[in-house]
Every structure is written in structure tokens, then in C-alpha cells.
Amino acid sequence: MKNLLLALVLLSQYAMPYAQCKDIYGSRVPCPTDQDSLVIYNNALKIMEYYENNKNYELTSSVEVTSDSERREVFEDLRNARRFFFVIRRELKQMDTKYDKFVTNDTKNSKYKDITFSQYYSEVDDYRFYQREIENQIVNINAPMGIYDSRISPVIVNTYRNKDTSDVYYGDMVNIPLYVPVTVKPFALLTEPELELRNKILHITPKFPAIPKREMVKRDSSNVIIAKTITNGVVKDTIIPKIYKQFSSNRTAIYAFNEWGAGAFIGYMVGRKFEKVKKEQYGQFAVPLFARKLLDNDEELTKFLKIKFGEFYEGLY
């Protein structure tokens, strides 16, 4: 089976409807929380793991979802699949009354049993629902049931085929809209390699503000001290520069990212502590609103830094 990750290179632009607090139809809706994204992320991991590690299924196509009309079409296809779930079964019964349950194309696999609608679809709230694949004549009950949120669009629609003639699901064609995990993982939990992969998948080029340049310390009476030292019994004056915290050589510029992957300079790690960019420097470093809100909330800022640096982080200056 082809590795599912290879399909990711087919992705292009990815819209984040929840960033504008609109659903895929353009209606204004309450914004999803990080927890909403985390639920979709964990579910996407399960679905990817199932099909990628199942030798009975092979990936036959992967179609990217990029435009607004394509996003709406995905949800319309899911809605139509729910309606045709009953239509197809009613028509089949009328064609041959002995087929009260579906069987595969191979009659020796007649142990296959159809699923109920409640096993196929389940509503969570006004925006979220669980649903299995769009192609629902044969449905693998062992596959994870996908969750969808009308405020967050899937980015690809993959098709898989069950090629194992000994499998009860032989002949199963799976047509399933997918969220790629790294594109829906909450930003605060993204590692730098994951962020880089996400930007590559979505063809995003982060726009970083200019990294603040370190100022040169001029050697004059205000920033040096003259110390008396003794070397081999000889007393002499030695010029020693003062050590200023803001010019320390171990300062590392730190960035936060918004939902579009745009970076914002927020300050420095100085050793194991964080030094915030000063409010009067917001304009100088083009600090956007989302970063200013983060900097103004020490609790959220500390949470962000602990996620990013773990036990290395020792607090704020």
C-alpha cells in the first residue's frame, strides 16, 4: 500500500474557516476552540493510521480541496451520502428480496453484514457530526468513524480499495474526506518541525518581521570599568566591559504564530528565562494584535513557553 504521507505533497492552499469564525457556507458562527481542533486532530491520526497500516487497502487517488466551492461540495457529498444510504438499500431490496443485507462482489465473502444508519452517522451539535465514508454500499465497521466540523474544512479526499480477496470487505471502495493531522493540530502544540511541515503542505511562506539586530557595545566610560589586576606580580589597569542583560550573547529571538502561520517577534530567551518585547517597541517590530494579547496575558504566555521549551523554561524576566 502506498504511504499516505506521499499524498500530502498534492496539497496546496488550505483555508481556515474557523479563523474568520465562518463555516464552509460563509455563515458567521462561533469560533471553534483549541479543544475542537484537538478532537479533529486525534481523530485524523486514527483514520490515517488505520488505512496506512492496513495492508488490505491501497490508496488509489488523492484529490486536494482548495476552493470554497470544493469545500462546500465535500459537505454536500457527505449529506447526499446520508440520504442515499436509505435509497440504495431500498432499491436493492426491490431488485432482489433475498438480499436483505449487502454482500460483496465475491459470493464466498457473504459473511459481510450491513451496518445501521446510527453506525454510519451521528450528530454531535450544530457544527459537528460523525460520519463514515461517502461510498457506503460496503462499509468497514472496523475503520475509525470520522468526525467533521462545518467550520473546518477537510483538505483532501482520498480513495482506497480493498484488494485482499480473502477479506470479508474485499471490493470495498472507500471515498473519504480527510483532515491532515498537522494542519488541524492546535498551534500551541506544534513543534517547529511540524510547523515547517504544515507550511510546506499548505504552501505557506511565513512572513517574519525583521529580527532585531544586537546593538554594539561601545567602549567608553559609561559601559566599561577599569579594574586593577596583578599578573606575574605586575599591577596594571584592565578594561572590562560591563555585562548588560539586554546585550547578552545568549539571547535568542522567539516568535509566536497565528492560524495562518504568520510569525510575530515577541521577545528573547535569555538563558532559561523569557524577556518580553517592550510595549513601546510594538510598532518598531510590527507586533500584531494576536501577539500583543499573548504578551499581555502572563498566564497564557507562560503556558505557551512551557509547551515550547518544557522544563528548560524557568520563568519571565
DSSP string computed for 160-172: EEE--TTSTTTT-
Q: Cell numbers at residue 93, please?
A: 431490496
User: What is the rounded average pLDDT of the residues 197-210?
Assistant: 71
Q: What is the pTM of this model?
A: 0.59
Burial class (CB in 10 A: 0-12, 13-18, 19+), 4: buried
Strongest mean pLDDT among 100-109, 176-185, 202-211, 305-314: 176-185
**From CA 51, how far away is CA 144, in angstroms rounded?**
10
Predicted local confidence at residue 236, as pLDDT: 54
Measured between alpha carbons, how far apart are the two ends of the chain, in Å?
A: 52
Does the pLDDT at position 1 exceed 80? no
Give the CA distances from residue 68 to residues 16, 19, 139, 153, 248, in Å, rounded to whole numbers and listed in that order.
11, 15, 29, 9, 49
CB atoms within 10 A of CB 151: 24
User: What is the rounded average pLDDT of the residues 159-170?
Assistant: 93
Length of the chain: 317
Predicted local confidence at residue 200, as pLDDT: 81
Predicted local confidence at residue 208, as pLDDT: 54
Strongest mean pLDDT among 13-22, 63-72, 189-198, 200-209: 63-72
Predicted local confidence at residue 242, as pLDDT: 41
DSSP the chain: ---GGGGGGG------GGGGTB-TTS-B-PPPPHHHHHHHHHHHHHHHHHHHH-TTEEEEEEEE--SHHHHHHHHHHHHHHHHHHHHHHHHHHHH-TT-SS---SSGGGTT--PPPHHHHEEE-SSSEEEE--S--SS--TTSPPEEEETTB---EEEEEEE--TTSTTTT-EEEEEE--HHHHS-GGG--HHHHHHHHHHTT----PPPPPPPPP---STTTEEEEEEEETTEEEEEEEE---GGG-TTEEEEEEE-TT--EEEEEEEETTEEEEPPGGGTTTTT--HHHHHHHH-HHHHHHHHHHHHGGG---B-
Residue pair 313/252 in contact by the 8 Å Cβ criterion: no
What is the rounded radius of gyration, in angstroms, for the C-alpha atoms of the chain? Answer: 28
Is the pLDDT higher at 155 or at 14?
155
User: What is the rounded average pLDDT of the residues 168-194?
Assistant: 88
User: What is the rounded average pLDDT of the residues 214-224?
Assistant: 44
The answer for residues whose C-beta is within 8 angstroms of residue 158's C-beta and 6 or more apart is 4, 7, 51, 59, 61, 62, 63, 174, 175, 176, 178
Predicted local confidence at residue 159, as pLDDT: 96
User: In DSSP terms, which residues pair with 28 in a beta bridge?
Assistant: 22
Q: Where are the domains of the chain?
A: 4-185, 224-312
User: What is the rounded average pLDDT of the residues 190-208?
Assistant: 77
What percentage of the chain has pLDDT greater than the value 90? 36
Predicted local confidence at residue 201, as pLDDT: 76
Does the pLDDT at position 49 exceed 90? yes
User: What is the rounded average pLDDT of the residues 288-305?
Assistant: 89
User: What is the rounded average pLDDT of the residues 260-265?
Assistant: 69
Q: pLDDT for 100-153, tens place per residue?
A: 445 444 444 457 788 999 999 999 999 999 999 998 888 999 999 999 999 999
Is the pLDDT higher at 26 or at 217?
26
